[in-house]
Structure formats: C-alpha cells, structure tokens
C-alpha cells in the first residue's frame, strides 16, 4: 500500500501537533435518565483526537486535525466547529458515500452501571481511512503526531494505517499514542494490537484499568515492563494520580521529532517534593508520581483527552515531567467541571501558577465549576 516516503521530513515545521482520528457529532441529553426517556438532546462534537487538537489550539498551540467525514451536514458541523477552536482542518477529507458518525449518550458517569451510549458509526467515513488515502505530508507536518487506539478498532484499514504511522523511520515526528481502550469497539477483536502499537510510540498514555482489561496487566511497574520501548510512559491511576516512566530509548524510532522532547528536560525530576516518588527502575528510567486533584465533577467525559492535551502542551514548552503531569491534571479538571467534552482551558499564567504550587498546597487544592475563570493568586484558590 502507498505510504510515506522514507526520510520524509519537514525542515520548516509550522504545526505543533497533528491529531489523526475519528470525530463524531455527539447528542447530549437535556436531562438525566435513560435514553428511552430523554425528550431532547443538544448537539456537540466528540472524538478523542479532535478533542486533543481543540484543547491544544485553545491553549495557544498550532494544532491540526486529520480525519475523514461524510459529505453531509453533520460533517459540515464537525469541520466548522473544530475549526472554530482554531484547529487547522485543511487536511480533513470528505467521503461522498459514507456518512459522518454520530452517537447519543446519557448524562451519567461513563463508568456507572446506568450509563448508556448508542453509537451510529459502523461504515462511517472515518472507518474508511487507510494507508492509501491519508495525506502523509500533512500527517507528518507537526512536531508531534498524536494517535489513539480508537482508530485501530474502526476497521482493518484503520489498523493498517496506524501500523504505518507508528512504523520506525527516519524523519517521523514524535509519536504520541493514547491507548484509549474501548471494550465495545473490540467485541470479537483482539485488543492486544494496542500493546503492539504502543510499543512503537515515543510517548504513551494508558490507564491502569485499561491495561488490566485489555491485556491482563496489573500495576504501573508491570505496564512498564510490558512497554519498555517508549521514551515516556504515562500510567493514569484515576484518583491516585499518574505515574510517569521516562528515559532515553535507543533505536531509529523518531529521529526527527521537530524539536519536541519526549523525555524530561533533564534526566531527573524537578520539584523534588514528597509527591515526586522518584526512583531508578534499573532500566535507566526516572519515575515520577504526581497525585490527582480534588475536583467537584460535573460530568466524567473527555477528561482523558484533556489530560493528554495538557501533558502535550507542557511537553512542547519543555517543562519538567512533574509540571507536565500537573498541567494534564489541570486541563482534565477544566473538562470535568463542565457538562461536555470540551471547554475553555485555564489561562496559561493561571495554570502555571497552580502547577508551581508546593506539594502541600497542590494536595489541598480543590477545583469546582467556574474555576478556570477564577484567575487568582495561588494562595486565594479554594482548598479543602
């Protein structure tokens, strides 16, 4: 199949992050209850990779989204809405035959037993993405290429595309991969391919719960043992926070990352407080543990994408690992305190002040609805 030419490089990179994947029109309920009982829905957008692109653009970065939508009104809405966040959508392709995917969901937490989601994405335009119809020049035009495991589950062609994009080659940008295991997408499939793709990336995000459900791997150290190749592995541990394994890895995986570092600015964690449980793993790793924030949650959707966006934003800025994780937590908190998947992030100087709090103040910090607009000095931020 056609693919990128070996040695593809972009000397004059103008894009910070390119995100490739499916985006869908989301229908959000007007009130709590079963889908059968909800009388009306509001229209929004949803898609892991486009969510990341929108959050990065809103945070001031040059972000692009590459995808495929139908030549229909829902496709128009997606492209126009995502572009409205400041995202470059010029590489989005329109499919004249297949429709844009849509889905409906209830207002409950995704992890709750009563949560319902009804997807209408089978045979969607995005599922037709393949190594033969993706614009490689635009895909490899950024400092970072962000992908997720959702794309791999859409079709055999989509899986082959991700294998192509994560293949080691001279000139590829830094590859960021969010495992994003969705069990309903893998019914009858083999989710172990997500482990294969993650091992080919430079920066990987995975939840402890995902690793256990998809691969039967339990615990951050065991996940690192199964994923030794990525320079940076971010293990998300829910309310316990996140553990980051960072260390240089040999091999021609990403020799032209365009100036974006996947590892810490130095080989040791800055901050040095009690929260940074830093220890050598015997493999040259630095291990950084950062507690999660206390958040008054409105809706537990979109937080993982927001966390990835915050971490990538801080990575582009060359911040130390602890602060990358804290910016991830802050971006996630912004989304958790609104009903939908996307929201305006905190102003950069506001987030920087919060990320610089000492360990004690960070542990006492509690964020609720409207906190992103409360641009106050750190000592004035609500604590518990």
Question: Known catalytic residues?
Answer: 305
Q: Which helix (H) or strand (E) holds 367?
A: strand 366-367
Distance, in Å, from the CA atom of 276 to the CA atom of 264, rounded to the nearest integer, reads: 14
User: What number of other Cβ atoms are within 10 A of residue 238's Cβ?
Assistant: 11
Q: Is the dihedral of CA 372, 378, 382, 383 positive or negative?
A: positive
Return the bridge partners of 288, or none.
244
Distance, in Å, from the CA atom of 176 to the CA atom of 184, rounded to the nearest integer, reads: 23
Distance, in Å, from the CA atom of 140 to the CA atom of 171, rounded to the nearest integer, reads: 9
User: What number of other Cβ atoms are within 10 A of residue 81's Cβ?
Assistant: 19
Nearest-5° Cα angle at 42, 37 to 46:
110
DSSP string, 8-27: ---TT--EEEEEES--EEEE
Q: Greatest CA separation found in the chain?
A: 58
The structure tokens listed for 147 are 């992908």
């Amino acid at each position: 199949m056609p693919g990128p030419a070996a040695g593809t490089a972009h000397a004059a990179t103008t894009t910070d992050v390119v995100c490739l994947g499916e985006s869908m029109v989301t229908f959000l309920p007007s009130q709590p209850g079963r889908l059968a009982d909800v009388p009306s829905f509001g229209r929004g957008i949803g898609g892991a990779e486009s969510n990341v692109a929108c959050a990065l653009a809103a945070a001031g970065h040059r972000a692009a989204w590459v995808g495929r939508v139908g030549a229909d009104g829902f496709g128009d809405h997606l492209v126009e809405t995502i572009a409205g966040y400041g995202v470059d959508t010029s590489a989005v392709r329109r499919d004249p035959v297949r429709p844009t995917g849509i889905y409906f969901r209830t207002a409950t937490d995704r992890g709750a037993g009563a949560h319902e989601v009804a997807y209408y994405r089978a045979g969607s335009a995005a599922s037709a993405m393949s190594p033969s119809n993706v614009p490689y020049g635009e895909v490899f035009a950024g400092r970072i290429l962000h992908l997720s495991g959702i794309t791999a589950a859409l079709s055999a062609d989509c899986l082959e595309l991700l294998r192509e994009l994560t293949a080691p080659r001279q000139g590829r940008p830094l590859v960021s991969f969010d495992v994003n295991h969705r069990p309903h997408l893998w019914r009858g499939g083999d989710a172990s391919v997500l482990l294969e793709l993650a091992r080919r990336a430079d920066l990987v995000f995975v939840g402890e719960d995902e690793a256990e459900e998809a691969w039967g791997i339990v615990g951050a150290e065991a996940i690192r043992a199964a994923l030794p190749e990525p320079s940076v592995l971010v293990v998300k541990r829910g309310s316990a926070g996140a553990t980051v394994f960072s260390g240089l890895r040999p091999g021609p995986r990403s020799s032209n990352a365009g100036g974006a570092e996947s590892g810490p600015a130095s080989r040791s964690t800055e901050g040095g407080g009690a929260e940074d449980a830093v220890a050598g793993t015997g493999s040259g790793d630095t291990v950084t543990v950062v507690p999660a924030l206390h958040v008054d949650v409105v809706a537990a959707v979109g937080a993982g994408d927001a966390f990835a966006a915050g971490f990538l934003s801080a990575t582009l800025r060359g911040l130390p690992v602890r602060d990358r994780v804290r910016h991830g937590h802050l971006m996630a908190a912004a989304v958790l305190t609104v009903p939908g998947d996307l929201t305006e992030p905190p102003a950069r100087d506001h987030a920087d002040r919060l990320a610089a709090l000492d360990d004690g103040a960070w542990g006492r910090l509690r964020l609720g609805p409207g906190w992103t607009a409360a641009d106050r000095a750190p000592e004035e931020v609500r604590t518990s």
